[in-house]
Amino acid sequence: GAVVSQHPSWVICKSGTSVKIECRSLDFQATTMFWYRQFPKQSLMLMATSNEGSKATYEQGVEKDKFLINHASLTLSTLTVTSAHPEDSSFYICSAKGQGGYEQYFGPGTRLTVT
Amino acid sequence: QQQVKQSPQSLIVQKGGISIINCAYENTAFDYFPWYQQFPGKGPALLIAIRPDVSEKKEGRFTISFNKSAKQFSLHIMDSQPGDSATYFCAATLQAGTALIFGKGTTLSVSS
C-alpha cells in the first residue's frame, strides 16, 4: 500500500516560536495533500487542502497566516505553525492522494506540545 | 447535509463476535465511502472502501454493506479479535481529490 511519512513524530516548543511539520509520500506522487488536526478522543478536523504548486485552500476558521502550508513538490508538503501558543497543542495528521482514484493515505501524525 | 453520522460511539464485543458500526449520510452526491482504523497515537489507516454502485464489499474479516436508498452504510467485523480494538471512522467524499468528511468515530473494545 501507499506510504506517507511525517516528521517529526512529536515536538515540544515554547510559546511564540514556529514549528515546521513535514509530510512526504514515499512511494507515489501526491497531487493533493490534506492537513488535519485531532483533539483527544475526537474526530479529524480538516484544516486545509493543498494541490502541488498551488496555494492551499483553508477551511473556515483556520488562520492561514498562522498555519502556513506549502506543497512545493509531488512528494512533500509542509505545515508551519507560526507563533505557536498552548492552544495549538494537538495531533496534526496529513493525508495524501495520488492522481486518479479516491484513496487517501494518512501519515502517522505529529504530536505538538506548546509550553 | 455535509455530515456523516456514525453510531455507536463505543462498542464492546466478545472475542469471536461480530462488530457492527453504522453510518448515515444526507448528501446523495457522495460517491466514495471509506472506513479507517486508528490506534492511539497513530494516523488512520485505510481499511476498506466502497462506491455506491455496489451493495457489499468484503475483504477478509471486514465487510461494508451499503444501502443507497436508505443512505446508510455499515462496517461488519467478523470473528472480532482483541487486536481489532481501535477507533473506527467512516467517511465520505463528493469526488476524487476532495477532502473526506468523517464521522465522529467508534471506539471498539474486543474482550478476550
Q: What was the pLDDT predicted at B95?
A: 78
DSSP state of A88: G
Q: How far apart are CA B67 and CA B63, in angstroms?
A: 13
Q: CA angle, corner B52, sides to B46 and A45, nearest 5?
A: 45
Over 90: is that where the pLDDT of A1 sits? no
Task: Tell the residue number behind the cell numbers 509530510, with chain if given.
Answer: A23
Residue pairs spanning A and B at CB distance below 8 A:
55
Residue B6, Ramachandran bin (φ over 0: left; ψ between -120 and 50: alpha; else beta): beta
Stronger pLDDT, A101 or B42, i.e. the higher one: B42
Q: Do A44 and B44 touch (CB under 8 A)?
A: yes
Over 70: is that where the pLDDT of A79 sits? yes
Q: What was the pLDDT predicted at B97?
A: 73
Over 90: is that where the pLDDT of A100 sits? no
**CA-based nearest residue to B96, from B25, B13, B32:** B32
**CA-based nearest residue to B24, from B10, B36, B7, B46:** B7
Q: Do B46 and A105 touch (CB under 8 A)?
A: yes
Among the partner-chain residues B96, B98, B102, the one whose CB lies closest to the CB of A44 is: B102
Confidence band, pLDDT 50/70/90 cuts, at residue A54:
confident
| Arithmetic mean of pLDDT over chain A | 94
For residue A57, give the H/E element and its range. Answer: strand A57-58
User: What is the distance in angstroms between the Cα of A105 and the nearest Cα belonging to chain B?
Assistant: 7
Q: Do B46 and A32 touch (CB under 8 A)?
A: no
Instruction: Convert B16-82 into a string of H (helix), E (strand) and C (coil).
Output: CCCEEEEEEECCCCCCEEEEEEECCCCCCEEEEEECCCCCEEEECCEEEEEECCCCEEEEEECCCCH
Pairing of strands A19-25, A76-81: antiparallel
Q: What was the pLDDT predicted at B1?
A: 62
Interface residue A40 vs chain B (CB under 8 A): no
Span of A49-53, A62-66, B68-72 with lowest mean pLDDT? A49-53
Mean of the pLDDT values across residues A99-106? 89
User: What is the distance in angstroms between the Cα of B41 and the nearest Cα belonging to chain A?
Assistant: 8
